[in-house]
Structure 1
Amino acid sequence: MKIYLVFVALLSVAVAEVAKFTKCDEYSDDICEVTEVRVTPCKNGKPPCKLTKGKESSIQFDFTPKFAADKLMTGLWWASDTGDVPFDAFSNVDACLYTSCPIQAGQKQELSYKLLLSKLLPNGIYTFKWKLWNTDDATKGCCFKTEVQLRK
């Protein structure tokens, strides 16, 4: 069984494409560093990642917090010109469901999440903004942005 799980994990990494991302203004690398973002599907890692509505997509990212925390929260927003718009189903979620907790300062971790994009979402190119923060001190966290295209 362990060999099967390792094979599945390696296969998912091989299928996932490293996506281009930028850091957010909320948190500096002195607080938490995001080193890699992988989106499935995201062909050639060229922005925007093309995601099909009604199909499952996944996102994984590697981060190194410079703080320790027992619990983390996470969420996904659309970074629009008029302000961040939360995805209702995933705006304030227990991050420990998707990464191991508690976290230790200086220890690299991965957060992995699968999502099914609603067919009701409008087509277009969007900037997704992903945040991860300490539940006891929201000034400590990670954040990155990546471009996606939602399509039929």
Structure 2
Amino acid sequence: MWARAVCVLVCATAVVCEAVTKKFCDDVNPGVCTVHSVDVDPCPKGINFCSLYRNKPYTLSVDFTPRFSAKNLRLSMYGDDNNDGSFDKTVKTVADPCDLMTCPVDKDIPRFFNLHFTLDKTHGTAKFPVKFKLWNADNESQACCFTFNVKVKK
């Protein structure tokens, strides 16, 4: 009985989570980090962009393999709701990404974590890219960075 309940919950979660189309950041060497998958939960509309509502909770799940080792990590998410490449609206900053995953990160060892976020009222109602970046604070050229599109609704 419990096995069926767990199976139903896992299947329901798999339906709600959506892999989003990611694009590597222009200012970061994509060979420094392999991003296997990026999922947003919940993500209505799916792959091309997520329809998100302001002040609602969402989870970004990232499965990646860094091609570098690091003890001192930083993480941030920024929105570009002007669609001008500025990425000047903070979505989320994490003081210590090691609270989300085991640290230090080691070269070529796969990692996975979930990041909870909301879009507040400072983000307009429009379609725009969100930039995610995780980097070695001791060497900023060592980074995992990608963008994905969202459409924010009221």
Give TM-score scaled by structure 2 length: 0.82
Q: Check whether the contact 1:127–1:145 (CA below 8 A) recurs between aligned residues.
A: yes
Q: Report the counterpart of residue 54 of structure 2 in structure 1.
A: 53
Equivalence map 1:129-148=2 (5 Å): 129-148=131-150
Q: Distance in 1 between matches of 2:10 and 2:76?
A: 26
Q: Distance in 1 between matches of 2:11 and 2:119?
A: 22
Q: Distance in 2 between matches of 1:95 and 1:148?
A: 23
Q: Report the counterpart of residue 71 of structure 2 in structure 1.
A: 70
Aligned residue type for 1:75: S
Q: Distance in 2 between matches of 1:10 and 1:101?
A: 28
Aligned residue type for 1:96: C
Q: Distance in 2 between matches of 1:12 and 1:85?
A: 35
Q: Distance in 2 between matches of 1:11 and 1:93?
A: 33
Q: Distance in 1 between matches of 2:106 and 2:138?
A: 14
* Structure 1 position 43, deviation (Å): 3.1
Deviations 1:23-58 (A, max 9, x none): 112223321111110001213523220011121111
Moved over 4 A (4+): 9-13
CA separation of 1:125 and 1:13: change in aligned 2, threshold 3 A: same
Q: Check whether the contact 1:41–1:50 (CA below 8 A) recurs between aligned residues.
A: no
Identity of aligned residues (%): 28
Q: Report the counterpart of residue 86 of structure 2 in structure 1.
A: 83
CA separation of 1:106 and 1:56: change in aligned 2, threshold 3 A: same
| 1:102 correspondence with 2:98 | no
Q: Check whether the contact 2:78–2:131 (CA below 8 A) recurs between aligned residues.
A: yes
Q: Check whether the contact 1:16–1:42 (CA below 8 A) recurs between aligned residues.
A: yes
* Structure 1 position 116, deviation (Å): 2.3
Report how many residues are paired: 146
* Structure 1 position 12, deviation (Å): 8.4
- Gapped runs of 5+ residues in structure 1? none
Larger Rg: 2
* Structure 1 position 117, deviation (Å): 2.1
